[in-house]
Amino acid sequence: MRILKLTEETKKNLLESLLKRSPNSYKQYEDSVNAIVEEVKKNGDSAVFAYTKQFDGAEITKENIRVTKEEMEEAYGLVDDKLIDVMKKSLQNIRAYHEKQKQYSWFDSRPDGVLLGQKVTPLSCVGVYVPGGKAAYPSSVLMNILPAKVAGVEKIVMTTPCDREGKVNPATLVAADLAGADEIYKAGGAQAVAALAFGTESIPKVDKIVGPGNIYVALAKKAVFGHVSIDSIAGPSEILVLADESANPRYAAADLLSQAEHDELASAILITTSETFATQVSEEVDKFTATLSRKDIIEKSLENYGYILVAQDMDEAIEAANEIASEHLEILTANPFDTMTKIKNAGAIFLGEYASEPLGDYFAGPNHVLPTNGTAKFFSPLGVDSFVKKSSIISYTKEALWPVYEDIIQFAESERLTAHANSIKVRFEDNNR
């Protein structure tokens, strides 16, 4: 990996390089994605079937688009029982973590007749997009569905691509069943996102769409935002390891590669205060890469977006980490909990040498659907809050309104909104309390 001294210039160049990975930088695909979205909006099922044939080579019809009970039973028979047991353990951890995120309606009444509050209501119907293609990610199925279930969403609709024979990855199906998906449809790409956003004869319209996907899926979610809610427009995966000389270079190298193997656009960055440690990690990266199955992808990822930055001290390193605002941040310092208190921007923070990033991906419980491309400065991980909406509650008696009604009238008239003012005035036309 390239080793650079951390300066304002290298930091600026790094941030500019990382931003090029954002879906917002791929405007050349927007016209084709928008055309697919409009076609599905206009023609429903027939457009979904045609695009599925064109892109996935599968003959999908109204009769076979929905995954059946028999197909689900077949999937269970094809997945290793040990993997199913692991999924169940992971599911329990994810559910337990998200149960602690639940919020409840509240009401605050005062003796003067004022009642204020907040009503928390789960979304009625949510769409979960699950990628197919080169790899299947049942862990993402659990992470997207379980917080919706904990939130109390009434109906969870999942879409995922099928192969040429109309089959869906069995591990994906098992994970969806374990997590509690209500309906599963064989549709992928921008056409599936459009189907969830607008509804077709077969696929119901949802209120929100969540789940990862390729650039076409990301841009389709961007295109339908406003017609429905979305979780985010996710970019490629990324990891930042923050380390001092006390860290284990083999651990740091292995963790960097755990993200670099995702795809050629994945980012893996180490910021350290030790030049010796930087060199050791680079050497370990080379050793590991030579033996890993996704060597070609890793090498391309590191060539494009792999960096080791040497900071003059930990304060400088932390400042850079906050500016990068990485999706995953590992802290491998002598006192990781103290370092963590100075971190403002990160999707998920992993503390200590035994909390490696894959622990969060698969098992610990916190959600692995995280903000990318610096959006951790203002976005949060997917969670229960992502699947509820909140309504304000206001109730005043006449006695409570009396002392303040003239203030409200004055405020409204200052904005020249006389109908607003009149709405208050009419309640006191008799000038009695």
- Rounded distance, CA 308 to CA 2, Å? 6
Long-range CB pairs of 71-77, under 8 A, 24+ apart, other chains included: 71/167, 71/168, 71/173, 72/173, 72/174, 72/177, 74/170, 75/168, 75/170, 75/171, 75/173, 75/174, 75/177, 76/170, 76/174, 76/177
**Contact status, residue 51 vs residue 159, Cβ threshold 8 Å:** no
Tell me if residue 390 falls in helix, strand or coil. strand
Is residue 59 among the annotated active site residues? Answer: no
Taking alpha carbons only, the member of 319, 374, 352, 344 closest to residue 243 is 352
φ and ψ at residue 221, rounded to 5 degrees: -60, -40
- Rounded distance, CA 88 to CA 85, Å? 5
- Rounded distance, CA 117 to CA 113, Å? 13
CA 124 to chain centre: 20
| Cα torsion 223, 226, 227, 231: sign | positive
Taking alpha carbons only, the member of 134, 135, 143, 176 closest to residue 159 is 176
Q: Name the token pair of 162.
A: 């099928």
Task: Kindly name the residue from 328, 330, 353, 357 that is annotated as catalytic.
Answer: 328
C-alpha to C-alpha distances, 82 to 15, 87, 171, 247, 265, nearest whole angstrom: 42, 9, 12, 34, 32
Maximum Cα interatomic distance, the chain, rounded to a whole number of Å: 87
Q: How many residues does the chain have?
A: 433
Is residue 328 among the annotated active site residues? Answer: yes
Give Cβ neighbours of residue 32 (< 8 Å, ≥ 6 apart). 216
Task: Kindly name the residue from 39, 261, 327, 357 that is annotated as catalytic.
Answer: 327
**Contact status, residue 119 vs residue 391, Cβ threshold 8 Å:** yes
Across the beta sheet with 306-310, what order do the strands follow?
3-5, 306-310, 267-272, 238-243, 328-332, 348-351
Task: Write out the catalytic residue numbers.
Answer: 327-328
